[in-house]
Structure 1
Amino acid sequence: MKLISLLSSGAVQLPWPAMVDGIAVSGSKLDESSICRRKCGEDRRCMGDVVPGEHTCEHGLTYFVCSLDDERITVYGVRGPHNKTKFNQYLNHGLKGRAVTQTALDFWLNSLGRLRAQIEEDFLQRQAEMLDPLHDPIRLVKQIGTIAERLVRKQSNAVGGLDKQIEQVSPELKSLVKSSDLLTDSFDLLSIYFNPEAATYGQRHPVSVHGLLKKLVSIFRIDNGDGSVSLKIYLEGECYRNAFVYDSFKLVPFALLSNAVKYSMRGSVDVSILDHGYGVEVSFCTVGPLIEPSEIDGIFKKRVRGRWAKELRDGRGVGLFLAEIIATAHGFRIKVSSKATGEKKGRIPLATNKFSFVLPYQNLN
């Protein structure tokens, strides 16, 4: 749990004015010093100082820079034991009742750390309890996939890996294999929904980005049973480099392709992969409901969907939210563009929607 969320909730009252990673937290027991307000306003030296320990600002006040795990906490506008400033009447009035000792600060930090650790432990326990009923369905889905693959190997005469063998079997068996893969990835997304930290579980390992996209395109390209497909998905471009990523990475293109398929209004999706040298760009483009400019940032928030997307289809608004969590864990952002085509389906304006990301060079081989 982020400290800024815990402290801003008001559930814990701060003994002194404080900032978390440069962001002021309101609601401290001791009001902010009038000297801070008058002399510094919003532009404060203590806000950007990352050097741990006790410091004295140019106006004669003390601020402490400390940390809890990976978050920086700055207690400011107080009087510390090492403050050698000569106090005049103005400073004495501004610092009255603001003495802070290192012992008191350490005690508060340790208490805050224990509280957060307990909250996170309880939260993880509740998450485990919520996921527990899914253990059997997840196991059954994997078992179905294993049995389907065995049937593929029995029916196919193709030489090579499973992907080649799947192309030789009946449309019904092919759909069964693909459906089990879709369900498995959907359960993986659900696990990250309940526990975002799962996005970085395990060790990074090499994955062929191009091979991953080919597999996903094959999974989503469901046969109708007569040799035709209900949705055309085109994959363009090449990349011969591997990406060193967590297991969760595959869920980013999975979620973006799933989103494109769901909202496609022209019966096709264009998937492209381009190696730029500085990174590999992957994009998903389709014609669907317009995403208003004011909605682009919001659609990555939990349970938030665009106005026209809600009118077109039912949905939960979690796919893009989870994709953004996983992308952040890998050091990249998902970009969105939506250009109106000038056409409408009913009252829904259409647009060419493109979701893309660039996997940074440092993640590649």
Structure 2
Amino acid sequence: MDGGSVSGSRLDESDICRRKCGEARQCVGDDVPGEHVCEHGLTYFVCNVADERITVYGVRGPNNKTKFNQYLKDGLKGRSVSQIDLDFWLNSLRRLRAQIEEDFLQRQAELLDPLHDPIRLVKQIGTIAERLVRQHSGGAGGLDQLLEHVSPELKSLIKSSDLLTDSFELLSIYFNPDAATYGKKHPVSVHGLLKKLVSIFRIENNDGSGSVRIYLEGECYRNAFVYDSFKLVPFALLSNAVKYNVKGSIDVSILDHGHGVEVSVCTVGPLIEPIEIEAIFEKRSRGKWAKELKDGRGVGLYLAAIIAKAHDFRIDVSSKSTGEKKGKIPLATNKFSFVLPYQNLA
């Protein structure tokens, strides 16, 4: 708060709402802002605080002209709400939310500051590992070709440093979403980028279980003019697929359509309920069955959506049940895809 004295009161839910509506509150589903009167003669207000909708219901508002019987009058005693009262309460919520966000961002910045040295060291490890690869393989040719002739340990070192670098870049966008549009757009081979990412995620395990089975199919060799952050979209989708894959391979495809280039990542994992399709892209939000399968923070898809928006496309999701279960978790073929529009292509 601002330090001044604030007086107010707490209103419990109206007994009339409980009796008339039971557990269902139809007014809560209304998304038209302003003051309204429900079918039972009570006022409800639909308001917005930032991007959140708030419904204040079971009160008597200033524009409610309903003639109340004795039952309603008794039930609404002390529940009159003026526009001034409502605005004061909403503004208090906005100030509280702004203060929480400010404190949260400050704590994030404080947490990120010690990571500057690790980020620099990861890049240095990658540079040294690349030099070692060139020394052991003669130094001729591209890095991807040279990696075919070095030890699995050295290959894993290169790939691990790349994974860490991309993870740190995602982290910086989490702290500052505007970083998704930093720098100038530059040409990137979408197919080449996917090939590299698929290779990175095929890291051999030390326990002898082999690498993650990831297959890349389709041919499209057009360049895309994108920000540096673009690579983090397929990175986040692949990372998500590797984490939640429970059966079979991970299939990555790139197809050239008439309206753009489609990239998709398909795997078998926990079912995503229809009502969760939009929600899983929200900050710190995860699907019900994904929570049952693995621990997580609900960050990767949130960041991927921010970067996609910066490039004028959206990420689509489909989840089709396979009829199988892993324990109590229903499984589905989950497909995450996006179409890079032609205005971003060369």
What's the TM-score once normalised by structure 2's chain length? 0.69
1:191 maps to 2:172: yes
1:279 maps to 2:279: no
In structure 2, the residue matched to 1:48 is none
> 1:165-176 residue pairs with structure 2 within 5 A?
165-176=146-157
**Quick check: 1:158–1:164 contact (8 Å CA) kept in 2?**
no
Deviation string 1:59-111 (CA, Å, 9 cap, x unpaired) is: xxxxxxxxxxxxxxxxxxxxxxxxxxxxxxxxxxxxxxxxxxxxxxxxxxxxx
> 1:247-262 residue pairs with structure 2 within 5 A?
247-262=228-243
SS in 1 for 2:149: coil
In structure 1, distance between residues paired with 2:153 and 2:143: 16
In structure 1, the residue matched to 2:187 is 206
1:290 maps to 2:278: no
Report how far residue 129 of structure 1 moved.
3.8
**Quick check: 2:108–2:175 contact (8 Å CA) kept in 1?**
yes
Unaligned 5+ runs, structure 2: 1-30, 36-45, 47-99
Report how far residue 227 of structure 1 moved.
8.9
**Quick check: 2:133–2:139 contact (8 Å CA) kept in 1?**
no
Unaligned 5+ runs, structure 1: 1-22, 32-41, 43-118
1:150 maps to 2:131: yes
Query: Percentage identity across aligned positions?
Result: 81
Report how far residue 25 of structure 1 moved.
7.7
In structure 2, the residue matched to 1:330 is 311
Moved more, 338-347 or 159-168: 159-168
In structure 2, distance between residues paired with 1:282 and 1:233: 14
Report how far residue 265 of structure 1 moved.
0.7
**Quick check: 1:339–1:351 contact (8 Å CA) kept in 2?**
yes
In structure 2, distance between residues paired with 1:24 and 1:131: 40
1:341 maps to 2:319: no
Q: Which residue identity is paired with 1:166?
A: L
| 1:25 to 1:120, Cα distance in 2 relative to 1, 3 A | farther
> 1:281-320 residue pairs with structure 2 within 5 A?
281-320=262-301
> 1:1-365 residue pairs with structure 2 within 5 A?
128-157=109-138, 159-224=140-205, 229-365=210-346
In structure 2, the residue matched to 1:73 is none
Q: Which residue identity is paired with 2:322?
A: T
In structure 2, the residue matched to 1:49 is none
What's the TM-score once normalised by structure 1's chain length? 0.65
**Quick check: 1:279–1:361 contact (8 Å CA) kept in 2?**
yes
| 1:204 to 1:24, Cα distance in 2 relative to 1, 3 A | farther
